[in-house]
């Protein structure tokens, strides 16, 4: 009987430790992002909004979640809060072009093509933040995604050199099943994000420097 009780205590302690390990990163990022999270109305002005990919339908059109991210960025653009939109998504296959679909949708909403920049190698949140700084020369931006994803996004970008403020892109009521799934998925995803930012430092697909805004070469005499 004593052995059984000891085993139960040990299993309970192990379970509690596991819960803490899984949930603590989510709490850390949520706490970090709480004062950096805005609505469209309260968002500060920045020169660029980074829009994070969120999947396409089989016909290549953006999912409702992705449409909401793009339209939120478009609202910021027409409110005069950003000058450019950086569309970052996955394009590792010819038939799957997230940034292209995001651009097409933004143009349908009235944004001119010259104010849209495409990042074809934003395969995950970490890659988008890393490349926004390393490839596109950004040091600050508005970060556009749904609230369930925003804490990880804000934390990751800020730790990778982008002074980022998040803007909530929840423009419709999503199903409870989807919201529950997304939030559960964020637990391991956030744990991985903290490991990448602080320990493993993976290098995403890179390429030539393509600054969103031309860098001045003028020097004072």
Q: In this structure, how many other beta carbons lie within 10 angstroms of the beta carbon of residue 30?
A: 17
φ and ψ at 145, to 5 degrees?
-165, 175
| Consecutive H or E run containing 116 | strand 116-119
How large is the greatest C-alpha to C-alpha distance in the chain, in angstroms? 86
Alpha carbons 162 and 139: distance in angstroms, whole number: 5
Give per-residue pLDDT as tens, 66-91.
999 999 999 999 999 999 999 999 99
What's the full length of the chain, in residues?
221
Place of tokens 């004593």: 2
- Cβ atoms 172, 64 nearer than 8 A: yes
What DSSP character marks residue 206? -
- Extract the tokens encoding 99: 């940034």
Spell out the CATH class of 32-200. Answer: alpha beta
Give per-residue pLDDT as tens, 171-203.
999 999 999 999 999 999 999 999 999 999 999
Greater confidence (9 vs 1) lies with 9
Residue 3's pLDDT is what? 75
Alpha carbons 69 and 155: distance in angstroms, whole number: 18
Residue 220's pLDDT is what? 46
Residue 15's pLDDT is what? 66
Residue 16's pLDDT is what? 76
For the chain, the helix, strand and coil percentages under 3-state DSSP, each to the nearest 5: 50, 15, 35
- Extract the tokens encoding 97: 């072009």
Q: Mean pLDDT, to the nearest integer, of 13-37?
A: 86
CA angle 145–146–147, rounded 5-degree value = 120
Alpha carbons 161 and 91: distance in angstroms, whole number: 24
Q: Reduce the DSSP state of residue 131 to 3 states and report it.
A: helix
Greater confidence (219 vs 181) lies with 181
Greater confidence (8 vs 108) lies with 108
Half-sphere exposure of 3 (CA within 13 A, CB side): 0
Residue 13's pLDDT is what? 72
- The domain locations on the chain are 32-200
| Consecutive H or E run containing 50 | strand 48-52
Greater confidence (3 vs 111) lies with 111
What DSSP character marks residue 198? I
Bin 108: left if φ > 0, else alpha if -120 < ψ < 50, else beta: alpha
Q: What is the dihedral angle through the alpha carbons of 99, 101, 102, 107, rounded to the nearest 10 degrees?
A: 120
Give per-residue pLDDT as tens, 204-213.
999 999 999 9
Q: How confident is the model at residue 219 (pLDDT cuts 50, 70, 90)?
A: very low
Cα 96 versus chain centre, distance: 19
Give per-residue pLDDT as tens, 10-20.
777 776 767 77
């Amino acid at each position: 009987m004593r052995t059984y009780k000891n085993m139960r205590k040990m299993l309970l302690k192990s379970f509690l430790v596991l819960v803490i390990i899984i949930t603590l990163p989510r709490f850390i990022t949520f706490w970090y992002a709480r004062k950096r999270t805005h609505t469209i109305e309260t968002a500060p002005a920045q020169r660029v909004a980074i829009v994070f990919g969120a999947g396409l339908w089989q016909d290549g059109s953006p999912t409702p979640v992705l449409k909401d991210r793009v339209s939120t960025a478009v609202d910021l653009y027409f409110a005069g809060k950003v000058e450019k939109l950086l569309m970052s998504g996955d394009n590792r296959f010819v038939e799957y072009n997230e940034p292209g679909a995001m651009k097409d949708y933004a143009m349908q909403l009235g944004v001119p093509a010259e104010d849209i920049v495409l990042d074809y190698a934003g395969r995950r949140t970490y890659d988008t933040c890393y490349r926004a700084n390393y490839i596109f020369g950004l040091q600050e931006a508005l970060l556009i995604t749904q609230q369930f994803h925003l804490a990880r996004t804000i934390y990751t970008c800020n730790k990778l050199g982008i002074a980022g403020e998040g803007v909530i892109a929840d423009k419709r009521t999503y199903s409870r099943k989807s919201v529950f799934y997304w939030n559960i998925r964020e637990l391991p995803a956030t744990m991985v994000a903290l490991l990448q930012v602080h320990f493993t430092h993976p290098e995403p697909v890179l390429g030539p420097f393509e600054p969103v805004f031309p860098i001045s070469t003028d020097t004072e005499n």
